[in-house]
Amino acid sequence: MSALDTSDQRTQRNRNGTESDFSDQVSRPWTLQRAQIWSVVVLVVVAFVWSIRRVGLSFSGIAEIIEGWPATWRLLGRMVPPFIPSEDWDVVTSAAFDTFFMAFAGTALGLVLGIPLGLLSARNVMPWAPVRGLAKLAIVFSRAIPALVFAIFFVRIYGIGVLPGVIAIGIHSIGMIGKLTADAAEDIDPGPREGVASTGAGPMQDLSTGVWSQMVPTVITISLYRLELDFRSAPILGWVGAGGIGVLLRAYQGSLRYQEMLGVTLLIVVLVIVLEALSALTRHALLGTTERLSGKVKQSKSNRLGSGLASPGTKIADWIIDRSKQRATLRNQLSPRRLTPPWTTERVKVNTVGLIFSALLVLSLIIPDIGADEVITGSGNIPEMLRRLTPNDWSWFTDRIVSDLIDTLGIGISATGLALLFAIPFSFLAASNTAPGRFVYLCSRSFMLLVRCAPELVVAVIFVAAIGPGPRAGSLALAIAMFGFITKLFADAIEEARQGIRDGVTSTGSTRLQESTTAVLPQVITSKISNSMYLLDVAVRNSAVVGIVGGGGIGFLVINASRQLEWETLGGIIFCIFLVVYAIELLATWVRRKVT
Amino acid sequence: MASPDDGNVIVPDSGEAAVKVINLVKTFDNGSVTALDRVSFTVPKGQLLVIIGLSGSGKSTLLRHLNRLHLPTEGSVEVLGQDVPALTRPELRILRRNIGFVFQQFNIVGRVTCIENVLSGALGRIRGPRIGAMMYPKWLRVEAFEQLDRVGLADRAWQRTDTLSGGQQQRVAIARSLMQKPKIVLADEPVASLDPEISGQVMDLLVQCCIEDEITVLCSLHQVDLALGWAHRLIGLRDGKVVLDSPVDESLDHNRVMDVYRELDPTGAKRDEYVSSDIDPIS
């Protein structure tokens, strides 16, 4: 009773405006969750400041670009006009084909190995925990080690050529494919599985009919996405001798023929754009139909409801009579031909795409000239190599490794920070629903796509030449690559923001900018944080690589150990990279789980 | 209000039992939640049995024990003369082949064709995994067509299942169960997510097919009127206990049936709980 009284009095007083009891409530109370969020924010800022200082940059990176501008300008001047000498054309085209097929075969290898591993690591597919753990370990390891590091290792085993490139891409792809496959398997609807189980199906039948049939679209998406990523990383592998167009890139850079180098780079960019378009077409041919079909379902549902209101519907008796009529017509249709699926346009499409891909797979084993004997003799060396890679003592461990690993972390974090700094505002310009105009949107989108397609190692080479070797160059180059990568994810997320909420805010009379911050930002913030953590994960992994071209960090020691045949050192460093990258990945997944 | 006046009540031959449940107890979360409390009943072959009760009264849990989607905490479950909890995995698969299960949420794979969903009902009869309808032998495909025809969907065979309406999807699920050539069909609120008109059609179809094939049916339902229309026998569950077990004939009073759903707690202390849990998916 008394509680009721006071609250009555309180509202009374407030209405009269004499006194407000809410004054102590107008600021948001400190909850544990809020404290956690703010401490994370502080930590993120501290980490960013630290990393910027560690790699020796100014806070926007712009000062360095201005400082290095004359040198960069001179370098760019020596690069234009890009050209490829006519006597090299044969070599260049065959190298381009090799690269294409290398990426293709590598992805195929990754799928063949990664999908079963992914299924084995899925909780709802593999009930036995030790097997799951082993599969997960393999997945995590292959994800953590960059393809370029695998390439260095496999070039030592199989010799210079396309084969080590294929295997490096394949082994590295296992990680992502396996992880996403496991996620897809764990995400399936358990209902249909129960349906299959209660027909008396065995475990393999359950896997094929209950699990796999639900996963197919996701697996197609994963495969195409991985193929795109591999097309992007394949041109670089040649840098360490793993075949393809990267070999030429290295040769031109080594002999300071910058015009040819830019020519090849542009060729790579064009190739990547074309392949990305092809992949988008394929995805549309295979999965675009799903969207159209689901649209149809919605339509037919509303039709059904509408007609249900209009007419009482058919009586069951009529319906059974109808059915016997149908049965009569069906008997005529039940020719053997009907027992095979009809050749609808969709089926033709899917089969054509399937045929093309099988043909490409066969070609990718023939064109780059991979011999079976090469595979067999090389593979025989693997156990011996692994034995040599395993360190016997700690003699390989030096302070240099520790400081270079910290540099690597610094490069990864600073590149992520710089990329985010520019990507967050830019993504609003590159999203069709928030861009101030069609023209701005198209310009921003094209710029973003262009940046995405430039191989980061080539950008790193340019920065190293312009502002000198060291983590500064690596960080800036990586920041540019990461900028292209994350802007696309951000812009896509913004485009998915719900229009209704935006209308609600606009109708209060807000400006465009207010509407973006109030209606759009809260909708996309969780996906932005989640994507940013993913970006950090990717950046740290790539920062281990930029050192190979002089961009600072652990990469230099990797390539050095490999050149001087210091196997134990190489093995030890790879293990260290694994630890660092895995730690960052754990952190990233932890934060992503917290925010979503 | 429908009364059990129609003459189509077929008295099942009192032969051997298809299902025999004795003192079945099921608890979840280490005994803190009791889903089934000493449930016992016997279903003779060929009987059409309907189980009614509020949401959460244990209907689904009970049905899921019969093909071992759940294991009992106590008590015995005997189906087709076999002790279900004690079966080995191969034996369980053979038993499941003989039990069709129709789910409330259909539980079919939406993105494959209807015929493939129906064919998956034959998985217990063949060996090895199958991907795609064409991996099933031709004689099975013919059979699947016949089952689809029985539910009136033969013309939709090669269409993706998720393009069908809810009632049609449930008919595909029924065809899948029939494809097993089952001796028993368990139906867990098979029409709960369908509108009343379609519900009637689907139930009539299910019952007709089962009578044709002499299949024993155990079906959980919310629609008492629908149940009184064709069931041989009603069982009412409340809080995991059997509170009604009666053949459907003149002696069965409609009010007695509705009591299963009624609030009987005289203090009314649990009223809110009942109201909130009694969300009928039909409305």
Torsion, Cα A490 A493 A495 A496, to 10 degrees, reads 180
**Average pLDDT of span A149-174:** 90
Mean pLDDT lowest for which of A66-70, A269-273, B15-19? A66-70
Residues 6+ apart with CB under 8 A from A576: A401, A405, A554
Domains of chain B, residue spans: 16-44+57-94+220-283
CB A395 within 8 A of CB A568: yes
Q: Do A209 and B120 touch (CB under 8 A)?
A: yes
DSSP state at residue B239: T
CB pairs under 8 A between A and B: 138
- How do residues A324-345 score in pLDDT, each as one tens digit? 555 555 555 555 446 777 777 7
Q: Give A563→chain B minimum CA distance, Å.
A: 48
Residues B45-75, buried b or exposed e (16+ Cβ, 10 A)?
bbbbbbbbbbebbbbbbbbbbbbbbbebeeb
List all residues of chain B from 190 to 209 with a beta carbon under 8 Å from chain A.
Answer: 195, 197, 200-201, 204, 208
Q: What is the pLDDT, as a whole number, of residue A324? A: 56
Q: Give B164→chain A minimum CA distance, Å.
A: 7
CB A427 within 8 A of CB A494: yes
Q: Do A341 and B200 touch (CB under 8 A)?
A: no
Q: Do B145 and A340 touch (CB under 8 A)?
A: no
Nearest chain A residue to B63 by CA distance is A198
CA distances from B29 to A190, A436, B35, B57, B73 (A): 20, 56, 10, 17, 11
Nearest chain A residue to B65 by CA distance is A198
Nearest chain A residue to B111 by CA distance is A214
Q: In this predicted complex, what is the ipTM?
A: 0.70
Give me the average pLDDT of each 10-residue run along chain B (283 residues): 42 69 90 89 92 88 90 92 89 88 87 88 84 85 89 86 90 91 91 86 88 91 84 90 86 78 55 40 36
Considering chain A, what percentage of its residues have pLDDT values greater than 70? 84
C-alpha span between B253 and B259 (Å, rounded): 10
Backbone angles phi, psi at A513, to 5 degrees: -65, -40
Task: Indicate the residue of B127, B131, B152 with minimum beta-carbon distance to A323.
Answer: B152
In the structure encoding, which two tokens stand for residue A419, read together? 């990329």
Three-state DSSP state, B190: coil
Whole-number average pLDDT of chain A? 79
- How do residues A83-97 score in pLDDT, each as one tens digit? 777 778 888 888 888
Q: How many CB atoms lie within 10 A of CB B26?
A: 22
Q: Give A235→chain B minimum CA distance, Å.
A: 36
C-alpha span between A541 and B117 (Å, rounded): 44
Q: Beta partners for B48?
A: B217
* Interior angle at CA A455, CA A94 and CA A115, nearest 5: 80
List all residues of chain A from 287 to 326 with a beta carbon under 8 Å from chain B.
Answer: 290, 293-294, 296-297, 300-301, 304, 308, 312-313, 316, 319-320, 322-323, 326
Nearest chain B residue to A216 by CA distance is B111
Give the pLDDT band of residue A313 (cuts 50, 70, 90).
very low
Higher-pLDDT residue of A542, A517: A542
Domains and CATH numbers, chain A: 34-67+399-596 (1.10.3720.10), 83-289+344-384 (1.10.3720.10)
CA distances from B52 to A581, B233, B244, B276 (A): 57, 11, 9, 18
Q: Do A294 and B122 touch (CB under 8 A)?
A: no
Q: What is the pLDDT, as a whole number, of residue A341? A: 79
Q: Do A330 and B155 touch (CB under 8 A)?
A: yes
- How do residues A403-428 score in pLDDT, each as one tens digit? 888 989 999 999 999 999 899 889 88
Query: Phi/psi zone of residue A404: left (φ > 0), alpha (ψ -120 to 50 degrees), beta?
Result: alpha
From chain A, the residues in CB contact with B179 under 8 A are 199
Q: Give A296→chain B minimum CA distance, Å.
A: 7
Q: Do A195 and B101 touch (CB under 8 A)?
A: yes
Task: Indicate the residue of A194, A293, A320 with minimum beta-carbon distance to B163.
Answer: A293
**Average pLDDT of span A132-160:** 89
Q: What is the pLDDT, as a whole number, of residue A121? A: 92
C-alpha span between A548 and A561 (Å, rounded): 11
- How do residues A507-516 score in pLDDT, each as one tens digit? 766 777 777 7
Task: Indicate the residue of A198, A217, A330 with minimum beta-carbon distance to B99.
Answer: A198
B16-44+57-94+220-283: CATH homologous superfamily? P-loop containing nucleotide triphosphate hydrolases (3.40.50.300)
Q: What is the pLDDT, as a whole number, of residue A288? A: 61
Interface contact B158, partner A, CB < 8 A: yes
Higher-pLDDT residue of A467, A65: A467
CA distances from B196 to A328, B1, B108, B282 (A): 29, 15, 22, 8
Interface contact B212, partner A, CB < 8 A: no
Q: Give B277→chain A minimum CA distance, Å.
A: 22
